[in-house]
Each structure stands twice: as structure tokens, then as C-alpha cells.
Structure 1
Amino acid sequence: MLYPLKFNPILKEMIWGGQKIPQTLNVKVDSDVKIGENFAVSGLKNDLSIVSNGALAGKNMLELIETYKGELLGEKVYKQFGTNFPLLIKYIDANDDLSIQVHPDDELAKVKHDSFGKTEMWYVVDVEKDAGLISGFSKKTTAEEFETYHSSGNLMELMAKHPTAEGDSFFIPAGKVHSIGSGNLIAEIQQTSDITYRIYDFDRRDKFGNPRELHHELAMDAMNFSDDESGKVDYKIKSNESVNIASCQYFTTNMLEVKGIVNKDYSQQDSFIILMNVGGKCSVEADGSSIELNEMEAALIPAAISRVELKADSARLLEVYI
């Protein structure tokens, strides 16, 4: 019988990372190692999540899907994606600015990489003073104008900068130029894709002294030059109710603040549910199984589970499904 699943963290060392993720997860890494990301739930071929709890501990995501198919994913999801888990669930610690970048849409990613595109969204878990990010252009532009700004060293003038606060959320469709600024701790929901086109990396060098690869021509093909929208999403939290933050063809994400006991009926979803903890502690119970979901952890509720009981003094969860 399937039950709520937790996975071993997949920690990613990044030039812009820090120590907040391993510290919060109580995972020991050397103090000079910069951890930028935790793939909390992943179906990427080279980064398959491995179950950490219960009878299925040690099984990876591909093995789970091959065994349980629609019971795990939902029948409609399995029919569409087969053994490809369709979402990548991350936590990101930007101890320094990420590169100015863009992601391809499905069509371009299929042609160039035989991959899904990358539409994503961010939820700001925590911020340091004066933190911000880049999302969209400061004005509608053209490829020719972009090239002029880029070649003259004035690219940052064309970037739209937005301050961030805890609880802010941004929707980042494929084609939107963006960068997470230093001082942001982010929960990210995205299509299963690891394709990023770097446009500008602040002339940084990696630990071997080499400049990181840029992807100018690919980025030019991918960018939506008319996108001057921030992508910021307005929503209001309601205790013990799911409040929608983002809905698109790739995922739906709700905010669910749990205070006390919340009973969720997922019988009509025909999809797995991901619960991402973005604040507090919460227990998750279903069909006699129980897990503790701590901050910056995520759980996968298989589609075969129709009812879940959530308990917390006060916790905030992102509720994600197809």
C-alpha cells in the first residue's frame, strides 16, 4: 500500500550558494561548501529522488513510477508523462546573485535538447535585508535593442529589479529573463528540466578560475523581449484553507496555512500532491501512516491516497499538483 513519501535531500553545490539548506535540514557539509539547491523531489535522470521513509525506503523515483504507475502519479498524469516525473521541486539558497538567465519553452527545448521546457514559480521563504530579484525587462524591448545594451555593458539597465519579502511569489514562464538576488531563500516549483541559458554572470569565475559558460545565442532564441511584467502574484492567506497562488498547464500551486487540524480530500484530483513546508512543523497522516514534515522538506502524496489529515500549531505548506 502506498503512503506519504519523503525523500533523501539531493544537495547541489553552486558558486552562489550558502549554508542555510544543510543547516535547516541538519545535514553536515564542510563549512566552505556552498550549497545552492536541494532537489527535494526529482525525476531527473541523473538526480532521481530516493525514498527515505517506510517500506519503500531505498527505492528511486523511476522504480516507484514503473511499479505503481497511475496509483502514484494519477491516471491522467501517467497517461501524459509515462515514467517521466513531470515536476522538479527545489529549495534555493541565494547567498550571492544568480546569473541573469532564461529558460526555453517546450518547443525550443524539444528541438535543441529533446527535453521539456522550463516554466517555474518561486515562493520566498525568507529574506535578508535589501534582498531582491530580477524578473522581466524594465521595458518592452527588441532583440536588436537587447544586443545594443548587452554589447555596451549596460545590460543591467534593461533588467527589472523587484524587492522581495517573506511570502512573495513570482510566476516565471519560459522565456522570461530573470535572476534570484542574494539574500533570498526560495521554494521553487518547475517543469522537470535542468536547462538554463546564462546571459550574464557578473564576470565571475568558478573555483578553478574559469569563467562560467554563457549561452548567448540560445538565450536570444528563448527570450520573450516584450515581457515587462514582474510576474509577482497577489494572494491572501486564509487559515486552514487552500488559496491559489499559481495555475498553468504544468502545475497548480496553493498556499495552505495549517493551524490545528485540517482534513484534505484529494479524491477528485487524479494527481499526486506535493506538500512543501515553507514554515513551521506539520504532521501528515494518511491511511494509518504518519510523517513529520519539517521546514524546507517536501512530501509526495500518491494519487491513490484520497484523504490526508494535517496537524500543526502553525505551519505553511505549498500544495502542488498537476
Structure 2
Amino acid sequence: MNLYPLKFKPILKERLWGGEKLREVLGKDFTSAEIGESWEISGVEGDVSTVANGPYEGKSLNDLISAHPEDLLGSDVVNRFGLAFPILIKFIDAKKDLSIQLHPDDELARKRHNSFGKTEMWYVMDADPGAELIIGFKNDLSREEFQKAMDSKSLTDYLHYEPVQSGDTYLINSGKIHAIGAGILLAEIQQSSDVTYRVYDFDRRDSQGNLRELHTDLAVDAMDFKKKDDFRIQYSRALNRESPMVSCEYFKTSYLDLDSETTMEFEDQHSFTVLICVQGNAQLVMGSWNVPVEKGETVLIPASAKKLVLKTSQSSFLKVSL
């Protein structure tokens, strides 16, 4: 059976900092008051996505990769990652501040956790007035200065706070200390990893009254203590054509702002493509397949695709490939 544009069932995650925007803004179906994440496409062990549309409905992403490795992932991806889906696509709703945290690089993650590291990209979809991200330090720190800040509970005095609005885009390299602030809804594209080192959690307690575990000792060895202004991504929004955003060794992203039918050609395609709808709606036509997509939905276009027609009068997408 030929592959087609694939949708997956969202994997919804309860978080003590979660809220209602995933339902109210993106149309996710849940009743809990604390859903913080919707994993859109995941190959993470224990959280593997399941197809939600077409003849493969109910099949896992891993089953499809096993049956159609190069047709689905692309030859370059298979050569590099084998049968592992190499990225994780999420939506995150931070009703409250997330913990201050960081992620290890590939070498450290492989050594400690038999996992990929985690470099990630954020695209802000909605932000309350005054909402901020924490990204990196105000100035270079030494390990000793960092430890003193932790001991005196003054770490937040040393962090860089970044005001945000809808459309802002950031690349968070492994090792960079960061946190998503309250009032922010964003799309996240990241390496396929769930390894997080929590450094500070504002002394919050979970529903059982317990402080959440910190991983400061692990984090220190992974942390970049240098001040770096390398995180904000500048990009244009040219109508009806791709506008490049991020190009790193783990993924490439671009922005599509459309107001009419647009054709995407995939000649000699060596990678799958992911389309994340961040505004409006469209029909994705691939051969005899016609797949509707709306804001808050994510679609995996197989590497075997030669052409995709996006029929729309107004929509915006993040395009992701390797």
C-alpha cells in the first residue's frame, strides 16, 4: 500500500504548569485543567505515535518505519539514524512558569542515558502580554558562581529574560539553561529525546505536596556557562514561498505563509517532511489523497512523495525536514 500524508493521535501530557490553550486555541480534545504538552509526532520509547487517518489508522509510527523505512524516512535519514524517528514535534502550553532546566548534548546523553541529546526550536504561537522566556545567562558565569547562586537561591538574578510575542522563534542548543514562562503557547521541534535536567523549580510542590526532583549535579557537567546571544532566529515571511528559519545538524525549518494554492515539489527527496499548521486551514493533496489540516494539526509527508499541493485561501505552516 502506498504511503500518504499521515496524521497522528496527539499524546497529551498532564503537567502541573499546564492550562487550557491546547484545547481552546488548538482544538485538542481533553477535559483536564492541566494539560501542558501535546506530542504530535513521537518515536520516543513508551510514547510512540499512532496513525489517526487513512488505511494505516491504528498503526504505530515504528510499525510503519519497519515496513517502509526509506519510503517513509528517506535514504539519508535511514543511513544516519537507522529505524529511529529522529525528531519530536510538540505543542506546549505554559499556564505557569516551567522549571529552569537544560538538556545534555549527544555525547553526554548517549553515555548517561543511551539517548540522543536535545537541541530544540521554539515557535511562539500565542503569548499573553508581558510573557517572557528564560534563555541563557546575563553574563558569563563560573561553576563556582553558579553554585553560589544555587546555594543562595538567587539563580534567577543571573538569567536572561526575553520578552516574546506571537511569531518569535528561538533555537535552544543543548547545554543552554532555559525556561518557558507563564502565558506562552508554542510549537517545539526537537531531537527525539526526553532527557531533561531540572535545575530550579521555584520551590513548587506537586499534587502530593512534594518538591519536584532536581538534577543539579548532572546539569553542571552539561551546562554552557557562557553568555551567548545566538538564540533568536530572524526570518522573513514572503507570501506563497518558503522562508528559511533554522538550519542545524538535527533539523531544517522554514515558514510558509499562504493565501492561494501552492505546489511543493520533492524531487530526489532523501528526507521526510513535517508540516505543522500554525494558522488557518488547507487541503493537502498528494496523488489521489486529499487530507484536510487545520491550525494545531501536524502532518508527516513521506520521503517517497514527489509532489504535494496545498489548497488554501489562508494558512501558515512550519515546514520541517532533515
Report if TM-score (shorter chain) is over 0.5.
yes
Q: Which amino acid aligns with 1:98?
A: L
Residue 8 of structure 1 corresponds to 9
Q: Which amino acid aligns with 1:5?
A: L
Q: Which amino acid aligns with 2:70?
A: G
1:224 aligns with 2:238: no
Contact 1:160–1:228 (8 Å) recurs in 2: no
Q: How big is each residue's C-alpha offset from its partner over 1:53-92, in whole Å with a ceiling of 9 and x where there is no partner?
A: 1111110011010000010000110121112100000000
Q: Which amino acid aligns with 1:87?
A: I
Contact 2:269–2:304 (8 Å) recurs in 1: no
Residue 110 of structure 2 corresponds to 110
Q: Which amino acid aligns with 1:139?
A: N
Q: How many residues align?
A: 321
Residue 298 of structure 1 corresponds to 298
Residue 31 of structure 2 corresponds to 30
Q: Which amino acid aligns with 1:148?
A: K
Residue 132 of structure 2 corresponds to 132
Shift of 1:245: 0.8
CA distance in 2, matches of 1:11, 1:34: 10
Residue 266 of structure 1 corresponds to 266
Q: Which amino acid aligns with 1:99?
A: S
Residue 282 of structure 2 corresponds to 282
Contact 2:27–2:296 (8 Å) recurs in 1: no
Aligned residue for 2:256, secondary structure, equals strand
Q: 1:221 to 1:16 in 2, by over 3 A?
A: same
CA distance in 2, matches of 1:317, 1:28: 21
Normalising by structure 1, report the TM-score: 0.97
Aligned residue for 2:66, secondary structure, equals helix
Aligned residue for 2:9, secondary structure, equals coil
CA distance in 2, matches of 1:151, 1:269: 52
Q: How big is each residue's C-alpha offset from its partner over 1:114-161, in whole Å with a ceiling of 9 and x where there is no partner?
A: 100000000001111111101111111111111111211110111100
Shift of 1:277: 0.8
CA distance in 2, matches of 1:26, 1:167: 19
Q: Which amino acid aligns with 1:261?
A: E
CA distance in 1, matches of 2:153, 2:184: 26
**Between the two proteins, what is the percent identity of the paired residues?**
44
Q: CA RMSD in A?
A: 1.1
Q: How big is each residue's C-alpha offset from its partner over 1:87-106, in whole Å with a ceiling of 9 and x where there is no partner?
A: 00000001000000000000
Shift of 1:315: 1.0
Structure 1: state its 5+ residue gaps.
none
Q: How big is each residue's C-alpha offset from its partner over 1:204-242, in whole Å with a ceiling of 9 and x where there is no partner?
A: 111111111100001101110014325011111001111
Aligned residue for 2:213, secondary structure, equals coil
Structure 2: state its 5+ residue gaps.
none
Residue 175 of structure 2 corresponds to 175
Residue 214 of structure 1 corresponds to 214
Q: How big is each residue's C-alpha offset from its partner over 1:291-317, in whole Å with a ceiling of 9 and x where there is no partner?
A: 111111100000000210012221110
1:120 aligns with 2:91: no
Shift of 1:24: 4.1
CA distance in 2, matches of 1:210, 1:51: 37
CA distance in 1, matches of 2:279, 2:117: 29
Q: Which amino acid aligns with 1:142?
A: S
